[in-house]
Amino acid sequence: MKHALNRKLLLRTIAPGILILLSIIGLISCVSIDRVVVVPPEIPGAHFVGSKNCEECHGNITKDFRTATHSRLMAKGENAANVGCETCHGAGSTHSEAGGGRVNIINPGRSPEVCFQCHLEMRGKFNLPHHHPVTEGKISCVDCHNPHKGDAIKGGPFALTSQVDTCGACHIAQRGPFVFEHEAVREGCTTCHDPHGTVNDRMLLQRNQNLCLKCHFQQQLASGKIFIGGRDHTGSLGRGTCWSAGCHEAVHGSHIGSSLRF
Ligand code: HEC
Ligand code: HEC
Ligand code: HEC
Ligand code: HEC
Ligand code: HEC
Ligand code: HEC
Ligand code: HEC
C-alpha cells in the first residue's frame, strides 16, 4: 500500500534521519510512526486553517485526535504543520467562517470517495465481485475503522477489542462462542477473508482447499494417498471444497463435534 501511495499520490517520506528519530519515538509510544506528505481533498474557494481552528467547535474530536493513526499525516504547502483534520474533511475556512453546519465540508462517513483518494488499492478491492457493501452505502469504512482516535484498524494489534468482536458485532453466527472452537478463528477473521473484497465467494482469500491447507498441510508419506489432520482424505478432495460437500461446514466452530462437520 505504501508504495502505491508514494508513487501515485506524490506522497513522500521525509528525510531518513527524521524517520529513524520517529521510529524511536514510535517504539516508546507503541505505534509505528511513518510520516508521509499528503495532498488532501479540495473544497472550492476554501483554504486550510489547521486543526486548532476546528478545536473551537469540535473539542471532543480534536482532544483525542493526536492518538489517531491519521494524525501523523502532513499536508503540502503553507499550513503543512497542522492540517490533520483537513486531510479527510477538506480545507475548512469557508465552513468555519459560516459557523459550521453541514456545508462546505466533506463528511467521508457518507461516501468513501475521500478515503479512496489516498487508498487507491481499496477502490480496486471494493470493485471486486464480492465485497462489503460500502460503495452501495449499506455500511461504511468507519464500521471497521476509527478515523479520530487510536488505531485506525478496530481490533488491530494495539486495540482493546479483538477483530472477532469487530466483525462479530454484525456477524453473530460466526462469532461464537462454540463448544468446539476452530483455532483459526481466534487468529482473526482475516485469516480467511479479505473484508474489503475478493474475487471469491464469501470474500474468501482462496476459493479452494488451499485456504485450509496453508495451516493443515502435512508431509505425505504413503504414495498415492493424501492425509490431512492424520486422516486419509484421498477420496474426499474431489467432492468439493473442505467446507462444502458435507465435510466441514461448521468452519467457524461447532456445537456438535470437533470435526466441524455441522
Ligand atoms: C481519516 C480521515 C479523517 C480525519 C483525519 C478526521 N476525520 Fe472527522 N470524520 C471522518 C469520518 C469517516 C467521519 C464520519 C464518522 C461517522 O460517520 O461515524 C467523520 C466525521 C466528523 C464529524 C461529524 C460528526 C461525527 O462525529 O459524525 C466532525 C465534526 C469531524 N469529523 C471533525 C473532525 C476533526 C475536528 C478532525 C481533526 C481533529 C477530524 N474530523 C479528522 C474522517 C476523518
Ligand atoms: C464556528 C464553529 C465551527 C468551526 C470552527 C468548525 N466547525 Fe465543523 N461544524 C460546526 C457545526 C455547528 C456543525 C454542524 C453540526 C451538526 O449538524 O450536527 C459542523 C459540522 C461539521 C462536520 C459534519 C458535516 C456533515 O455534513 O455531516 C464536519 C465533518 C466538520 N464540521 C468538520 C470541521 C473541521 C474539519 C473543522 C476545522 C477545519 C471545523 N469543522 C470547524 C461548527 C464548526
Ligand atoms: C490524505 C490521504 C489519506 C486519506 C484522505 C485517508 N487516509 Fe488512511 N492513511 C493514509 C496514510 C498515508 C496512511 C499510513 C499512515 C501510517 O502508516 O502511519 C493511512 C493509514 C490508514 C489505515 C491504517 C493502516 C495500518 O496499516 O494501520 C487505515 C485503516 C486507513 N488509513 C483508512 C482510511 C479511511 C477509512 C479513510 C477515509 C475515512 C482514510 N484512511 C483516509 C492516508 C490517507
Ligand atoms: C468489514 C470491515 C471493514 C470495512 C467495511 C473496511 N475495512 Fe479496511 N480493514 C479492515 C480490517 C479487518 C483490516 C486489517 C486487515 C488485516 O489485518 O489483514 C483493514 C485494513 C485496512 C487498511 C490497511 C491496509 C491493509 O490492507 O491491511 C486500509 C488502508 C483500509 N483498511 C482502508 C479501508 C477503507 C478506505 C475502507 C472503506 C472504503 C475500508 N477499509 C473498509 C476491515 C474493514
Ligand atoms: C456494520 C456491520 C458489519 C460489520 C462490522 C462487518 N460486516 Fe461483514 N457483512 C455486512 C453486510 C451488510 C454484508 C452483506 C450481506 C449481504 O449482502 O447479504 C456482509 C457480508 C460479509 C461476508 C459475505 C457473506 C456472503 O454471504 O457472501 C463476509 C464473509 C463478511 N461479511 C465478513 C466480515 C468480516 C471478516 C468482518 C470483520 C473484518 C465483517 N464482515 C464486519 C456487515 C458487516
Ligand atoms: C478458517 C477460515 C475462516 C475463518 C478464520 C473465518 N471464516 Fe468466515 N467463512 C469461511 C468459509 C470457508 C466460508 C464459506 C462457508 C460456506 O460457503 O458454506 C465462510 C463464510 C462466512 C460468512 C458467510 C456465511 C453464510 O452462511 O453465508 C460470513 C458472514 C463469515 N464467514 C464471517 C466470518 C467472520 C465474522 C469471521 C471471524 C469471526 C470468520 N468468518 C472467520 C472461512 C473462515
Ligand atoms: C490459521 C490456520 C488455520 C487455517 C487457515 C485453518 N485451520 Fe483448521 N485448525 C487450525 C488449528 C490450529 C486447529 C486445531 C489443531 C488441529 O486440530 O490441527 C484446527 C482444527 C481444525 C479441525 C478440527 C480437527 C479435529 O478433528 O479436531 C478441522 C475439521 C479444521 N481445522 C478444518 C479446517 C478447514 C475446513 C479450513 C479451511 C476452511 C481450516 N481448518 C483452516 C488452524 C487452521
Asked if residue 67 has pLDDT above 80, the reply is yes
CB half-sphere exposure, 61, CA atoms < 13 A: 14
**Average pLDDT score over residue span 201-220:** 93
> 231-232 and 74-75: which strand pairing?
unpaired
More confident residue, 34 or 142: 142
Span from the CA of 46 to the centroid of ligand 6 (angstroms): 46
More confident residue, 150 or 11: 150
Per-residue pLDDT band at 62 (split at 50, 70, 90) = very high
Asked if residue 111 has pLDDT above 80, the reply is yes
Whether the CB of 159 sits within 6 Å of ligand 4: no
Mean pLDDT score of the chain: 82
Ligand that comes closest to the CA of residue 202 = 5
Q: Name the nearest CA neighbour of 61 among 145, 147, 144, 141.
A: 147
Task: Express as a percent the part of the chain with pLDDT over 70.
Answer: 81
**Average pLDDT score over residue span 75-81:** 52
Span from the CA of 119 to the centroid of ligand 3 (angstroms): 7
> 227-228 and 180-181: which strand pairing?
unpaired
CB 250 within 8 A of CB 181: no
For 105-141, give the DSSP string: S--TTT-THHHHHH-HHHHHHTTSSB--TTTTTSS-G
Q: Name the nearest CA neighbour of 226 among 244, 240, 238, 211.
A: 238
Tens digit of each residue's pLDDT (9 = 90 or more) over 161-197: 899 999 999 999 999 999 999 999 999 999 999 999 9
| 29-43, 54-68, 73-87: least confidently modelled range | 29-43
Please state the φ and ψ torsions of residue 38, each to the nearest 5 degrees: -130, 160
DSSP 231: E
Question: pLDDT value at position 77?
Answer: 55
Whether the CB of 125 sits within 6 Å of ligand 3: no
Whether the CB of 54 sits within 6 Å of ligand 4: no
If DSSP codes are grouped into helix, strand and coil, which group holds residue 180? strand
Residue 176: all three cell numbers together: 461464537
Question: pLDDT value at position 3?
Answer: 36
Nearest CA to ligand 5 atom 6: 167
CB 161 within 8 A of CB 154: yes
CB 207 within 8 A of CB 200: yes
The amino acid sitting at 229 is G
Residue 160: all three cell numbers together: 482493546
DSSP 232: E
Question: pLDDT value at position 39?
Answer: 61
Question: pLDDT value at position 127?
Answer: 97
Distance, in Å, from the CA atom of 2 to the CA atom of 12, rounded to the nearest integer, reads 10
Full-model pTM: 0.90
From residue 238, give the alpha-carbon distance in Å to each of 55, 126, 208, 247, 256. Answer: 62, 32, 11, 12, 25
